[in-house]
Amino acid sequence: MGGLSKLYLLSYNSLQAIGWAVSSFQILCNLLSTSSVAGAYSSAGKLISFLQCAAFLEVIHGAIGLVPSGALLPLMQWGGRTHFLLAIVSKLDEVQQLPSVFITFFAWSISEVIRYSHYAFSCIGNCPYWITYLRYTAFIVLYPLGVGPGEIWIMYRALPIVKKKNLYSETFSGLPFSYYDFLKVVLIIYPFLWLKLYLHLFRQRRSKLFKRQDKKRA
């Protein structure tokens, strides 16, 4: 990797880590000041939406070979989260104050601070082991927490609202199905797509942590 590529990736990952740290700070400040989890979206929703949209760059990074991740898995994660944020949560006031939004945003924020910090330190070739350990361990709890009681539950709660409002009816007018039908299909396949990502992270964990330990013993 050339010097300019390293500098770009270091800058990108550092800014993402800072952005997600700010979002987690905003969420916690709102929680402490209101003693309620209902304000997670109002306090950090716009920043998290911006950070998530910007993460499309990671799909491009993988597609052009700037990073070894490839494009498919980053695209799956980016597409699922962005649809959840922009098509559902930002459009439906009725779900924005649900506890599940707090759960999702908090799980995302913590996991992304860890992930982007790990990437940033790796760009300079000096990543502390404890950050690497967190990167490949914290997801075990944080990812299911963000997806199960977070994303999936919110999409399920949104179904009757989507049907009542006939959401995106103009966009889907030329198609043989509605957005409501599309969302039901998404809910069915979402756990399977998420499981693919989750198992991929376990394979990475085995590679990054246990092989390193084996090398130390050798």
Active-site residue identified among 112, 116, 151, 180: 151
CB burial readout 66-82, b (16+ within 10 A) else e: bbebebebbbbbbebbe
Give the count of beta carbons closer than 10 Å to the beta carbon of residue 39: 20
Alpha helices in the chain (DSSP H): 3-34, 40-54, 56-63, 72-82, 93-96, 99-123, 129-135, 139-146, 153-165, 179-205, 211-217
CA pair distance 117, 122, nearest whole angstrom: 8
Is 143 annotated as catalytic?
A: yes
Nearest by Cα to 146 from 67, 6, 52, 60 = 52
Tokens describing residue 153: 């539950």
Active-site residue identified among 12, 116, 136, 143: 143
Where does residue 6 rank: exposed (0-12), middle (13-18), buried (19+ CB within 10 A)?
A: middle
Is 170 annotated as catalytic?
A: no
Tokens describing residue 150: 């977070």
Instruction: Say if residues 77 and 62 touch (Cβ distance below 8 Å).
Output: no
Alpha helices in 65-98 (DSSP H): 72-82, 93-96
Active-site residue set: 143, 151
